Structure 1
Amino acid sequence: MIPQRLVMSAFGSYAGREEIDFSEAGPGIFLVTGDTGAGKTTIFDAITYALYDQTSGGRREGRMMRSQYAAEDTPTFVEFSFQYKGQDYRILRSPEYERASRRRGKDGERKMTLERSSVTLFLPDGTEFTGKKAETNRKIVDIIGLDAGQFTQTVMIAQGEFLKLLSARSDERREIFSRIFQTDLYARVEQRLHEEAGALYGQMKDMERQEEQELSRLFCPEAEGLPEKLAEAALPKERLEAVRQILQYGRSREAAAEKKIRELDGELDKVNRELAVAQELNSRFARLAKERRNRAELQAKAPSVEQRKGRLERSREAALVCEIYERRQEASRQRQSLEKEIKGIQEKILQAGHKREALLKRKEKVLLEEKRCREEYRSLTEQIARVTDQASRLSGSRALLQKWESLEVQAADRKKRLRELRQKLPLLKKEEQRRDDCARAFEESRQAYQQAADAYLACNEAFLLGQAGILARDLEEGSPCPVCGALHHPAPAALPERTPDQAEVKAARRRRDEAEAEKDRRQQLLLEAGQRCTARLQSLLAEGKNVVGEEFSLESEDPERRLDREEKRRDQELKECRRQKEEAGQQVGKLEELEKARQSLAGQQAVCYKRQEEQQRETALADESLRCLDQSVSQAKGEEAARQAAREETAAREAALAREAQKALEESPFETEDQCRGSLLAEEEKERLENDLEDYRQKCIEADARVNALEEQLDGKEPARTESLEEQKKVLDESRREAEEEQRRWYSKNENNREAGERLKKIYGNNQKLQERCARLRLLDQTAGGSLPGRPKIDFEAYVQRRYFQQIIAFANRRLETMTGGNFVLRCRSMEQLGNRGSVGLDLDVYSLETGKLRDVRTLSGGESFMAALSMALGMADVISRSAGGIQMKAMFVDEGFGSLDEYSREQAIGVLSELAGSDRMIGIISHVTELKESIDRQLVVTKTKRGSHVRWSR
């Protein structure tokens, strides 16, 4: 990847739009320089954010990068153009952030709105990649071939990050490599092997428990030495043989019990047949005796049956006579009922006449009341019309009152905010005073730093001139110069009167560095004070524009005088609102009185209208009642005539039935009507007597038939004796029950032993295969987990990481030897030195090429550590590029670290980076080191101002 162009808008410390054209840097090394906090690292953050939606250090999200200096209408985005494998790509990405809305609300203020994050990828052919945000992010990773973690390790070497890999412990390097090289796959393989080995071991233990459980369920009879054989069996084959012998013995006992049951069944069948014949004969003799007793009992009931038969005949004769008497009584009851109905109809006609007179009087009274209600309703309608006309003229008073009440609240609120704004003006002055104090302090520190830097340069130059004078003092014509080797010395350097020594140079450099640190600290304080002052100023301006108006300014005139004038105007406005509100309130009071009067009149009108409707309904009801009353009287007279005719007809039928009843009584065996009625039986009693007589006759016939049939069957036979047969059957039943219990017991035990034997066969078969697999898997688990006895504790993941680590060290040493002048190289600790304690495999040592001895990497000095760490970072970049499939990264950025190097080491490190860059690679360095500013021509200068930072190229 080769960066081409970077555009940042309202991003980080850059308030507006800043554009960096990387083509001006060209291949080789360039320096990114500027004051502390100006935004040097933000450039690399912008590149990483454009590619991966996160910053280079990983500590800040994109939504945190909205510039505090940016104007409200300035959008926040990053646009990054780069070339990869000869193809041009462009990415436009913006974070999620809050900004002021472009429209004002009803209250005149702008509310905050959320700007959503977005990303757009333009392909080499100029088209836009179609896909959602997650799909676009994956497409960018596919193009570059590196994820965010690999990119920051190979291209964006963030400040202090590459020192972690050098001084980390073995287990810490393991975590770093796991993220970079994604070796967690091998850790999962280790875990999977360990889990499977543990699972197989658990299965073996489960099978052992199952075997013990099956053996405990086995029933072993105490016969033929079977318990001893089972106890002595050690191998699975021997145990299965013992189970087979136990099962064979049990089946023989079960067969013997079944044979005995069959023999007893034959004897029982013979006894049961003889006993059944004897019991059947005795049963018939018993039934004959019982049937004879039943027939005798029926014959004894004959007189009682004849008496009940006579009662039934007398009841039938009495029923014929009583039926005529009943018809006569029914005719008498009908006559009496008709006479009673005739009297009721006559009384009803009389009452209807009285009621008709009362209805006519009520109707006349209601008509008079209805007339009075109509006149009252007309009067109320005229009064309501007059009140409504008066209220309509005051109908707008309520809206007017609400308007002035709202305006009063708004005016009071504006006055309150105006007062609060005045209270905040002194705070702005305090912030400006602090900013000015910080500016004076920074200027003093800058001048002190400039003096210290000039003193150091003069001291260093005098020291170098002194060294040249010392060398020139010993030159002789014809002798070679120790510096250039020339034999002729036309103008040797003169020896100054006083030459500073190396200690004085170092002291001057230290004073310069301390002054620079103080200057940077004062500059940071000034930046923070300026940010606070700017934030206070922007807040006051925004609030002043909301309260006073868009014309509000803190520069055109004295803010206090402008606010006094505005406050007076607000007081006058509030006073006018209250006066208008009071007038509108008086009109609303009059309107409310009129509305109450109108409501009262409307209520009276409604009552009057309701009373009028009730009177109309009452008149209609009276008319309907008169009509119904006349109709019912006419109907009642017709019913009276019909009832008179029916009464005369019923009286004639009653006299005829009385004569017929007297004649029927004289012809019957009864003397009086009461005697006749006393012989009557109830229907239930008659039905019961008839059923009893029929049942008795049928029983007599059936009893004679049963006795005759049994006497014919038993003619010439005697009852049999069954005591001996029953005793014999009882003995055989008990023997069979015992034999059957014995057979069931042995069957149950044999089934249990058979099932146990089959399960043991299955267990032994599975266990043999499981043991072989468990042995192989346990060896793999110990090997992958680094737990083999007597071997270093290095697991599968650490072994793979160790291969990467050795490759990184090999690439790193190529550059480290150059940087250190062949002083030392790095070594991965050998397997023989690892031992068998803890997590090992990624330990790093330093090998001295001069002494041939090893020492711990943490013994390196600050400068040595930086060179070693930089070499490691470059070596890791080489390995990651290789492992990622030939990734072409033609750019690298290194953030700080050169301040810990002496002049020689710094020159060596810069030489290695220059060699690494070659003719087609770009390497950017962030640094405050003055010597780098002097030695690197191409510089990207970041300048910090009160309104945000700016960036430019300087040569």
Structure 2
Amino acid sequence: MKILAIRLKNLTSIEGTVEVDFTAEPLHSAGIFAISGPTGAGKSTLLDALCLALYDKAPRFATSVESVNLSDVGDNQINQSDVRNLLRRGTSDGYAEVDFLGIDGRRYRSRWSVRRTRNKISGSLQPQTMEVKELDTEKEFQGTKKELLIQLVELVGLTYEQFTRTVLLAQNDFATFLKSKGAAKAELLEKLTGTGVYSRISQEVYARNKAAQEEVTLIQNRMNVIELMPEEELLALQKEKELLAEKRVAGIKLLAEQNEQLNVVRSLKMQEDLWKKKQQEEQEEQARLKMLQGALASQEEGLVHFKAQWEAIQPDLKKARQLDVQILSQQDSYTQSQQMLQSANKQVSEQEQKMRMATEQLQGAYSSLNRLLNHVGIEEALQLEQVEEILRQEENKLTAGMNTNEERLLQLNSFGYPLLAEEQMKLQKELTRQQNIRQLTEMQTKTKAEIERLEKETTDCLKQLTEQETALKVTQRLYENARMAVGKDVKALRRQLQEGEACPVCGSTAHPYHQEQEVVDTLFRSIEQEYNAAVANCQQINNRSIVLQRDWTHQKMVDGQIGEQLAALYKAGINAGNEEQIQHRLTELAERILAYRNLYAEWQRSDEEIKKMRSHCEALRENVSLCRLAMQKVSSAKEQLVLLQNTASAEQKRFEVIEKALNVLRQERSQLLKGKSANEAEAVVAKREKELNLALEKARKEVEAVHNRLSSLQGEMKQITLAIGECQEQYKKIEFPEQLPEIIKKQQEENLNTERTFSTMEARLLQQEKNKLTVEQIAKELAEKQTIAERWAKLNKLIGSADGAKFKVIAQSYTLNLLLLHANKHLSYLSKRYKLQQVPDTLALQVIDCDMCDEIRTVYSLSGGESFLISLALALGLSSLSSNNLKVESLFIDEGFGSLDAESLRTAMEALEQLQMQGRKIGVISHVQEMSERISVQVQVHKKVNGKSVLTVAG
């Protein structure tokens, strides 16, 4: 897996679009590079962008566990752990994009992007999106964001946790790991290796054991709460229940007999009251029968009188029928005459409307004609002939104008304008080509001169660099020898030398350095300054050589491009003379084209005037036709109107005669039968006769119904008398009938008390059975839970703990051994002097010093640089442990180099320079000036005003 390029836009302090391309120079050739810049400039933003594009996560949010909402734009809020917080405030959109080489050897591009609504700064944040595609085939991966992230893990070969332990080495974690206590080391190892499951297992075992013990205690408490009756109390209760059951049966039987006697008493009283009620109803019915018989006689007399009156009005009825026939006949003539009159009046109105419409059309035609001629007063047919004369004159003018414009069109065609325009375009292109050739030739001359200058300076610089490197090697040998001479171990040996005794190293008995130690130290500092100056000078010349070679290559590329452009321009030329000849011909063409355009404009103006004249003539001709047609309609409408008015007058007179005769007949008829028709009068008489007959029949039926009810009442009274006799016989047998309700009430209370006592005893017996069954079930459950609790108690004794530390320490001991195997392998490349070893039966670490006969040393005795080397080896060991033998060619280290002194920093840099020889491209994030000066290739992040930062690649 290898990172090829990182691009980002508007993230944190970096505004706008930036790109770090590891496939382009100088990063392509650099094995190690620095990401430098002041604190807060945005160095770690590059790593955030890398993780966003691949995993939709960022390292800076790894510790954000508290859920707190922060204010965004407007009233919107966003959680503080949301990765969209990386979008720079005051921008509407941003993205992070990474090109990488997958585990299958193919190149891919992953892009994470976020934007605000409608791409406005004031818009609310939208959900982030992911895009993944293969660069070689341009194939885009499909799916949801979650599905794309799963595919990315397969392409990269690492999960997010493995990626942050393999490609991004966390700051200071392993320096802390070296010297932390056992429990803290277990927690830190658990965090770095992702083996937190052991801690959770220990906590889960502890929780399960606690829960099992609580369940056993709870079941025991449930069993203690349940009470069972003694056997003697149970037998006595069952016997008492049997006695109560017999008493309950006897009480129910006695209460039934008492209720039967009470029913006899109540029935006797009810029958006596009913007999009295029936007797009263008999008296009422007899009085009603007498009244209805009188009403029946009155109805019969009224019917006889009505029939006599009907016979008296028969002559008037006959005469009324005759008049009704005459009126009906006259009414038909009246209606017919009225309809004809209305039709005639309607036709007159319609003809008047047509007359008005024809007149309005004529006036409208005259108005249109006046507007076309720009004057008023044309209202007669005689003047229409004058208009037709004007129309003939206008048409003659139109014909003359059309002939003139045809001549102009022939002149336009004779110019051959398309050929002129084509020739002009070709000449202009040729003129531009010759001008470009002249400019490119001048540029080529300057470029060749610059190439010669750069080539000479590059040769001089390379020669100077060779000389400086030769001198540097000599100075370096002196420096290394001097450094060994002033080393701590050498100084300690010198202090042990005695004058006259042989040196165990060289065998000399003279020890001049023993007496002149201060002179030696001063000499070493002088040599060290000379060596550092030589290194800086050599690095400066090397940097200049790289810049000169880059500029020389660039100028050669520019010269090649100019040559290609000149060849293309020469090839595209035409034979049209030099620039002066072409310019002269272009002037002639411009004059001829201008003459064509002036004539064309004159033809266009004339054509517009001809169109207007033609439209005017057509409108005049059409309006004259409309005026003549409208005059004919008005004349025809007048004649038709006179005929319809005469017809309407004759119909009016006929209608008045018929109306007068009809009024006379109606007057005579209104005096008979009170104005009612014969049929209506007969209907009223028939209705009245029917009502009288119905009333008579109703009265007869009511009299008959009263007779029937009297007979029914008398029969019911006989039956009630017999029932009363039977009840009186039963009543005589009852003792104390007046006290029966009180006796029944007392018996009911006694029965109720017996029932309550019986129910209570029965409930106690049922509860006893239920409790007995429950105790048996609880006992069985308790035995099962106790077995489970004993198992968890044994497991908890071995690995369980409330904080998870017991099993965590045991498990991480094995993980630590595996980690140290990988770490020592990397440490052998970094520093052959030391090996890491685990203190037996603990998570503590100790160091084996190979230069001191494998002496075991505590990690607290290491210097800053040595601690860094071992911490880096641990980090690389974890990288190997997490990557599952996956080849990772990119490594970013953020280890806090600012805490190292000059000597430790030099040692760390030498270690990193050796590490890049293993084939990895290493990026070191630091703001330390010494590191930035030592690493020539740098990705520099510069702070600007208003919290902005810009990014440049130097080297």
**TM-score normalized with structure 2 length:** 0.50
Match of 1:740 in 2: 752
Where do 5+ consecutive residues of structure 2 fail to align?
8-17, 63-82, 87-95, 114-128, 375-393, 395-463, 492-500, 544-604, 606-611, 682-686, 941-949
Match of 1:690 among 696, 700, 717: 700
Letter of the aligned partner of 2:870 in structure 1? A
Match of 1:32 in 2: 31
Q: How does 1:227-246 map to 2 (within 5 A)?
A: 236=224, 239-242=226-229
Deviation at 1:698, TM superposition (A): 0.5
Q: State the distance in 1 between where 2:863 and 2:51 align.
A: 37
Match of 1:570 in 2: none
Match of 1:181 in 2: 193
Deviation at 1:804, TM superposition (A): 0.9
TM-aligned CA distance change 1:950 to 1:335, over 3 Å: same
TM-aligned CA distance change 1:827 to 1:686, over 3 Å: same
TM-aligned CA distance change 1:681 to 1:63, over 3 Å: closer
Asked if 1:727 corresponds to 2:739, the answer is yes
Single out whichever of 281-290 and 315-324 deviates more from structure 2: 281-290
Match of 2:133 in 1: 118
Letter of the aligned partner of 1:53 in structure 2? L
TM-aligned CA distance change 1:379 to 1:286, over 3 Å: closer
Match of 2:862 in 1: 860
User: Are the equivalent residues in 2 in contact too, given 1:32–1:942 (CA < 8 A)?
Assistant: no
Aligned length: 679
Deviation at 1:505, TM superposition (A): 2.6
Match of 1:53 in 2: 54
Letter of the aligned partner of 1:794 in structure 2? A
Q: How does 1:41-440 map to 2 (within 5 A)?
A: 53=54, 78=99, 80=101, 89-96=104-111, 117-119=132-134, 146-147=158-159, 149-150=161-162, 153=165, 162-163=174-175, 165-166=177-178, 173-174=185-186, 176-193=188-205, 196=208, 211=222, 236=224, 239-242=226-229, 254-273=241-260, 294-295=281-282, 298-299=285-286, 303-324=290-311, 369-382=356-369
Match of 2:520 among 495, 501, 509: 501
Asked if 1:801 corresponds to 2:812, the answer is yes
Deviation at 1:705, TM superposition (A): 3.2
Where do 5+ consecutive residues of structure 1 fail to align?
23-30, 66-74, 83-88, 99-113, 212-234, 390-446, 472-478, 487-492, 525-586, 588-593, 662-676, 832-841, 934-938
Deviation at 1:262, TM superposition (A): 1.0
Q: State the distance in 2 between where 1:516 and 1:908 align.
A: 14
Match of 1:430 in 2: none
**Secondary structure, in 3 states, of the residue corresponding to 1:183?**
coil
Q: State the distance in 2 between where 1:134 and 1:639 align.
A: 100
User: Are the equivalent residues in 2 in contact too, given 1:268–1:733 (CA < 8 A)?
Assistant: no
Q: State the distance in 2 between where 1:287 and 1:481 align.
A: 154
Deviation at 1:862, TM superposition (A): 0.6
User: Are the equivalent residues in 2 in contact too, given 1:829–1:845 (CA < 8 A)?
Assistant: no
Letter of the aligned partner of 1:501 in structure 2? V
Q: State the distance in 2 between where 1:685 and 1:268 align.
A: 60
User: Are the equivalent residues in 2 in contact too, given 1:197–1:774 (CA < 8 A)?
Assistant: yes
Q: Could you give the per-residue CA deviations for residues 401-433 of structure 1, whole angstroms, max 9, x where no partner exists?
A: xxxxxxxxxxxxxxxxxxxxxxxxxxxxxxxxx
Q: State the distance in 2 between where 1:382 and 1:641 align.
A: 59
TM-aligned CA distance change 1:698 to 1:736, over 3 Å: same
Match of 1:461 in 2: 478
Match of 1:701 among 705, 708, 711: 711
Single out whichever of 898-907 and 277-286 deviates more from structure 2: 898-907
Aligned residues with identical type, % of pairs: 14
Match of 1:220 in 2: none
Deviation at 1:172, TM superposition (A): 6.2
User: Are the equivalent residues in 2 in contact too, given 1:292–1:707 (CA < 8 A)?
Assistant: yes
TM-aligned CA distance change 1:480 to 1:804, over 3 Å: same
Deviation at 1:378, TM superposition (A): 0.8
Letter of the aligned partner of 2:863 in structure 1? S
Cα RMSD between the aligned structures? 7.7
Deviation at 1:118, TM superposition (A): 2.4
Q: Could you give the per-residue CA deviations for residues 731-761 of structure 1, whole angstroms, max 9, x where no partner exists?
A: 2452233322441355257537845873653
Match of 1:869 among 868, 871, 876: 871
Q: State the distance in 1 between where 2:518 and 2:477 align.
A: 10
Deviation at 1:861, TM superposition (A): 1.9
Q: State the distance in 1 between where 2:810 and 2:364 align.
A: 110
Q: State the distance in 1 between where 2:656 and 2:215 align.
A: 108
Deviation at 1:377, TM superposition (A): 0.7
User: Are the equivalent residues in 2 in contact too, given 1:291–1:707 (CA < 8 A)?
Assistant: yes
Match of 2:414 in 1: none
Match of 1:393 in 2: none
Q: State the distance in 1 between where 2:693 and 2:651 align.
A: 49
TM-aligned CA distance change 1:892 to 1:49, over 3 Å: closer
Q: State the distance in 2 between where 1:304 and 1:684 align.
A: 19
**Secondary structure, in 3 states, of the residue corresponding to 1:786?**
coil
Q: State the distance in 1 between where 2:22 and 2:876 align.
A: 34
Letter of the aligned partner of 2:478 in structure 1? E
Q: State the distance in 2 between where 1:681 and 1:138 align.
A: 101
User: Are the equivalent residues in 1 in contact too, given 2:482–2:524 (CA < 8 A)?
Assistant: no
User: Are the equivalent residues in 1 in contact too, given 2:835–2:847 (CA < 8 A)?
Assistant: yes
Q: State the distance in 1 between where 2:242 and 2:648 align.
A: 107
Single out whichever of 197-206 and 298-307 deviates more from structure 2: 197-206
Single out whichever of 149-158 and 352-361 deviates more from structure 2: 352-361
Q: Could you give the per-residue CA deviations for residues 633-674 of structure 1, whole angstroms, max 9, x where no partner exists?
A: 9899889989999999999999xx99xx9xxxxxxxxxxxxx
Match of 1:786 among 801, 821, 824: 801
User: Are the equivalent residues in 2 in contact too, given 1:288–1:707 (CA < 8 A)?
Assistant: yes
Deviation at 1:765, TM superposition (A): 5.2
**Secondary structure, in 3 states, of the residue corresponding to 1:241?**
coil
Q: How does 1:301-700 map to 2 (within 5 A)?
A: 303-324=290-311, 369-382=356-369, 458=475, 461=478, 464=481, 501-506=520-525, 509=528, 686=696, 689-700=699-710
TM-aligned CA distance change 1:503 to 1:169, over 3 Å: farther
TM-aligned CA distance change 1:337 to 1:159, over 3 Å: same
Q: Could you give the per-residue CA deviations for residues 443-488 of structure 1, whole angstroms, max 9, x where no partner exists?
A: xxxx9xx9999899859727948999999xxxxxxx99977999xx
User: Are the equivalent residues in 2 in contact too, given 1:819–1:867 (CA < 8 A)?
Assistant: yes
Q: State the distance in 2 between where 1:207 and 1:302 align.
A: 91
Letter of the aligned partner of 2:878 in structure 1? M
Q: State the distance in 1 between where 2:717 and 2:329 align.
A: 74
**Secondary structure, in 3 states, of the residue corresponding to 1:90?**
coil
Letter of the aligned partner of 1:318 in structure 2? H
Q: State the distance in 1 between where 2:647 and 2:526 align.
A: 137
User: Are the equivalent residues in 1 in contact too, given 2:475–2:531 (CA < 8 A)?
Assistant: no
Letter of the aligned partner of 1:379 in structure 2? Y
**Secondary structure, in 3 states, of the residue corresponding to 1:53?**
helix
**Secondary structure, in 3 states, of the residue corresponding to 2:805?**
coil
TM-aligned CA distance change 1:298 to 1:78, over 3 Å: closer
Q: Could you give the per-residue CA deviations for residues 92-149 of structure 1, whole angstroms, max 9, x where no partner exists?
A: 1235499xxxxxxxxxxxxxxx996524699xxxx99987697787577568865454
